[in-house]
């Protein structure tokens, strides 16, 4: 088994992201396992695990955009903005107009100021917001800029007193899908919350890359090589043997000729370093392997 790389797990509902990491540590035989972006217990879908030196690339994976499918229930607001929380207000939403739903959601596309859910992992005064809410405190988090590039309506179902809206979303890191449900309900004047959420993509990782949680426990999975992931996450730079040697001595290389991070890869497909141009040279910002 490779010692540095990535695993993509299709998280089931009812478990935390930490539960998946804990099993990952056990089956991989290392404590050095992390994940690229928490999924709520009710949510399912793509959870990217990095292990060994893969953990050093997780920040770049986390910063990538993500895709989701979700179901919004109009007609009830909850304390958590999802079905897990106590209902704090309700209204008849069976007659809301499809055209109004479409207009409000369309206005959310682009870079917008979004207020995170109070029951979230955002820190307030050094404490997680959800811990302060559970302690009985009431407050609203400050809005932050997020970017939503896709927000499509897949289906609308008008029920007896509620309306359900299935949506597909592609967005930047830090976007709260629960907040989309809450804000849609508020704009319609009937309240709203999320009843289902599935993450279908994280950066370049999709459902086709994923194993089930049961397969993870049974060690029936294929890990992704660190170099292969770096090649698709960053702009690749194929090194000569001489350049690999220079990097092993901590020396910069001739500049990449671009403004992005480059993955420096050896002829035998090892990730040697991440490089970025500075002062006319390509300088390592992280080194992963020495020359053989």
Instruction: Give me the active site residues, please.
Output: 40
Task: Annotate 3-38 with DSSP letters as a single string.
Answer: SSEEEEEEEPTTS-HHHHHHHHHHHHT-S-EEESS-
Question: Within its chain, how far is the Cα of 61 from the centroid?
Answer: 8
How is residue 28 written in tokens?
A: 């991989």
Distances (CA, A) of 229 to 107, 141, 189, 203, 233: 35, 35, 45, 11, 6
Task: Find, among 256, 250, 245, the residue nearest to 279 by Cα.
Answer: 256
How is residue 165 written in tokens?
A: 């809206």
Can you tell me the distance from the alpha carbon of 97 to that of 177, in angstroms, rounded to the nearest whole number? 21
Write out the E strands in 52-128.
66-74, 76-78, 87-90, 110-114, 123-124, 127-128
For residue 120, the 8-state DSSP code is: S
For residue 260, the 8-state DSSP code is: S
Question: Within its chain, how far is the Cα of 42 from the centroid?
Answer: 15
Residue 270: exposed, middle, or buried by beta-carbon count in 10 A (0-12, 13-18, 19+)? Answer: buried
Angle, helices 177-188/98-107, rounded to nearest 10 degrees: 130
What lies within 8 Å, CB to CB, of 32 at 6+ separation is 51, 52, 55
How is residue 191 written in tokens?
A: 């309240």
């Amino acid at each position: 088994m490779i010692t540095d790389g990535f695993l993509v797990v299709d998280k089931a509902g009812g478990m935390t992201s930490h539960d998946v990491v804990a099993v990952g540590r056990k089956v991989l035989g290392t404590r050095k396992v992390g994940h690229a972006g928490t999924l709520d217990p009710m949510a399912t879908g793509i959870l990217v695990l990095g292990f060994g030196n893969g953990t050093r690339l997780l920040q770049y994976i986390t910063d990538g955009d993500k895709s989701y499918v979700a179901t919004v229930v109009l007609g009830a607001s909850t304390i958590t903005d999802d079905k897990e929380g106590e209902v704090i207000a309700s209204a008849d939403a069976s007659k809301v107009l499809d055209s109004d739903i479409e207009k409000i959601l369309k206005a959310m596309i682009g870079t917008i100021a979004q207020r995170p859910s109070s029951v979230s992992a955002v820190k307030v005064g050094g404490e997680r917001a959800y811990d302060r809410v559970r302690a009985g405190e009431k407050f609203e988090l400050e809005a932050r800029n997020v970017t939503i590039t896709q927000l499509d309506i897949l289906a609308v179902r008008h029920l007896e007193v509620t309306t359900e809206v299935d949506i597909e979303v592609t967005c930047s890191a830090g976007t709260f899908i629960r907040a989309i449900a809450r804000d849609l309900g508020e704009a319609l004047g009937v309240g709203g919350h999320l009843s289902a959420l599935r993450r279908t993509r994280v950066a370049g990782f999709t459902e086709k890359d994923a194993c089930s949680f049961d397969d993870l426990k049974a060690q029936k999975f294929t890990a992704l090589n660190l170099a292969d992931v770096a090649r698709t996450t960053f702009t690749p730079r194929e090194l000569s043997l001489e350049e690999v040697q220079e990097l092993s001595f901590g020396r910069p290389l001739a500049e990449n000729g671009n403004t992005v991070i480059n993955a420096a890869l050896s002829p035998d497909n090892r990730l040697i370093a991440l490089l970025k141009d500075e002062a006319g040279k390509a300088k390592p910002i992280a080194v992963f392997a020495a020359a053989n």
